[in-house]
Structure 1
Amino acid sequence: MPFEISKELVRSDFIKKIEELSGEEISACYHCGKCAAGCPSVDTMDLLPNQIIRAIQLGDIEVLKTSNTPWICASCYMCYVRCPRGIDLCSIMEAVRQMTLRENLDHIDIRVYTDELATLPPIAVVSAQRKLSS
């Protein structure tokens, strides 16, 4: 599907809001892929972490709304440790989650995962606690 890029789209209020919430400069990412290479959850994501950054840079809000990647992110900070630019991708993912929740879109049905709670790795439980509590 063709995607038209315009100055208005690239400099949109959406991008400014993500940068404000995350405290990160979205344009600093040059897509080396080290975040995706080190991510322990990448096998279950529909988009790689650097593809989420690209969608934000392009102002492609629809991709962000439908992607499960921000919700699967365990906020383990491996991407931040590996990033040569020092971009805190966990904060960006959290900002995307906040923006999505502000639009009343819920991507995760908690009841689906209660059966698997005993088999989840501890980092997933901690991550869920951070994401689901205010």
Structure 2
Amino acid sequence: MTREERLENLREICGTNIYACMKCGKCSGRCPANVQPHAFVSRLVRGRLEELLADKKAWDCLTCYACAERCPRGVSPVSVVEAVRKTQVCMKENNHIAAEEIPPVVGEHTPQQLFVSVFRKFNG
């Protein structure tokens, strides 16, 4: 898959209108994990695929949807974060996450509930 195809696929699977984002930052102000969801949306709008896929903060997101609830334009930044996670996993050769890979993928302050979510979503 080419870079442009991967970028378009990411925009498609996030399922939210990223172009409606007005960069007000309300989503990031509400984020309990300090993930800065607006940055994920902004990078996807600008086509910064490499930055998106290299950002380990995607794995700190609790998927609590506080950012989506706060957005005055109806954008769902958490959907972008989940699409980034899915793309990161799908780019791997074996297409899943092994337990021994978890420490390098997430930060040391990542909540335990996220580990459970990751295993259920990507290994089930």
- Specify the TM-score bucket, using the shorter chain as the normaliser: 0.7 to 0.9
RMSD: 2.8
AA aligned to 1:128 is F
Alignment partner of 1:84 out of 65, 72, 80 = 72
State the secondary structure of the residue aligned to 1:131: helix
- 1:59 corresponds to which residue? 47
Q: TM-score, normalised to structure 1's length?
A: 0.69
What is the deviation of 1:56? Answer: 0.8
Stretches of structure 1 that go unaligned for 5 or more consecutive residues are 1-8
- 2:118 corresponds to which residue? 131
Preserved CA contact (<8 Å) 2:60 2:114: no
* Distance in 2 between residues matched to 1:111 and 1:84, nearest whole Å: 35
* Distance in 1 between residues matched to 2:103 and 2:49, nearest whole Å: 27
1:99 pairs with 2:91: no
AA aligned to 1:129 is V
What is the deviation of 1:88? Answer: 1.7
* Distance in 1 between residues matched to 2:5 and 2:14, nearest whole Å: 14
- 2:18 corresponds to which residue? 26
- In the TM superposition, what whole-angstrom CA distance separates every residue of 1:32-82 from its partner, at most 9, and x where no partner exists? 10010000000xx4xx21111111111111111221221111000100111
- In the TM superposition, what whole-angstrom CA distance separates every residue of 1:75-100 from its partner, at most 9, and x where no partner exists? 00100111001112222111111111
What is the deviation of 1:19? Answer: 2.9
What is the deviation of 1:130? Answer: 2.3
Preserved CA contact (<8 Å) 2:16 2:76: yes
What is the deviation of 1:111? Answer: 5.3
* Distance in 1 between residues matched to 2:102 and 2:87, nearest whole Å: 19
* Distance in 2 between residues matched to 1:96 and 1:111, nearest whole Å: 18
* Distance in 1 between residues matched to 2:75 and 2:115, nearest whole Å: 22
Q: Give the number of aligned pairs.
A: 111
* Distance in 2 between residues matched to 1:127 and 1:88, nearest whole Å: 19
